[in-house]
Amino acid sequence: MWQNLLHDSRFFLLLVTLDRDLAEQLRAQRCLQCGAALHYGRYERKPRGASPDLPPDYGRFDSLCCAAEGCRKRVRPPSLRFFGRRVYLGPVFVLVSAMVHGLTEKRAAALRDLVGVSMRTLARWRAWWRQAFPQTRFWHAARGRFAPPVDEAGLPAALLQRFRPGTDVDRVVAALGFLAPVTAGSGCVVDR
């Protein structure tokens, strides 16, 4: 079911709209350091795993910069399209990681055909979900929202299963929205 979303350009275009809304909400708050207005800076990314029929500017990432001379603090808005600085798109990272249940050569080959991800990358993603993500400040604060607790050994699939608002698109958008604070960088800090 999720593999169909990875080739649905309407799904990815919906994420552009949602990302712009998140960036606009952050821009309206003004600079947290000095209170000045925030201006857009759009940067080109070359994300992997995108549907081939997406517009060429799909890879543009919104960033915000303080307008005050001397401050110029940059802030990265949360995103449903991009998962931090990863080269693969956020939905690809989350959904493909959820489809990896016991990494086998056959499954890795199917996922490589689907989005071009290597077995080595899949193993790295799986390790991040199972080892690094459960140690983030974000997850320490957010995991209490789920009762019964999410099975951390089954992340991210176990997390995706907790979002059941309607269609697969609704569920994935809800999960990506939940994970959006991690994409801005602040939620990725690992507690020691």
**DSSP states along 37-63:** -EEEEEEE---BS--TTS-GGGGEEEE
| Amino acid at the residue 166 | G
Here the tokens at position 72 are 């110029």
User: How confident is the model at residue 185, as a pLDDT?
Assistant: 57
**CB environment 55-92: b (16+ within 10 A), e (fewer):** eeebbebbbbbbeeeeeeeebbbbbbbbbeebebbbbb
Here the tokens at position 59 are 């890879």
Give pLDDT tens digits for 61-102. 889 999 999 998 999 999 999 998 888 999 999 999 998 877
End-to-end alpha carbon distance in the chain: 37
Average pLDDT of every residue of the chain: 89
Q: Which candidate, 54, 76, 97, places its Cα nearest to that of 181? A: 76
Give pLDDT tens digits for 108-154. 888 888 899 998 999 999 999 999 999 999 999 999 999 999 999 99
- Give percent of the chain above pLDDT 90: 61
Query: pTM for the full model?
Result: 0.89
| Amino acid at the residue 111 | L
Cis status, amide bond into 134, omega within 30 of 0: no
User: How confident is the model at residue 187, as a pLDDT?
Assistant: 39
The neighbouring-strand residues paired with 50 are none
Q: Where are the alpha helices (DSSP H) in the chain?
A: 2-5, 9-28, 90-99, 105-115, 119-127, 137-142, 157-160, 168-183
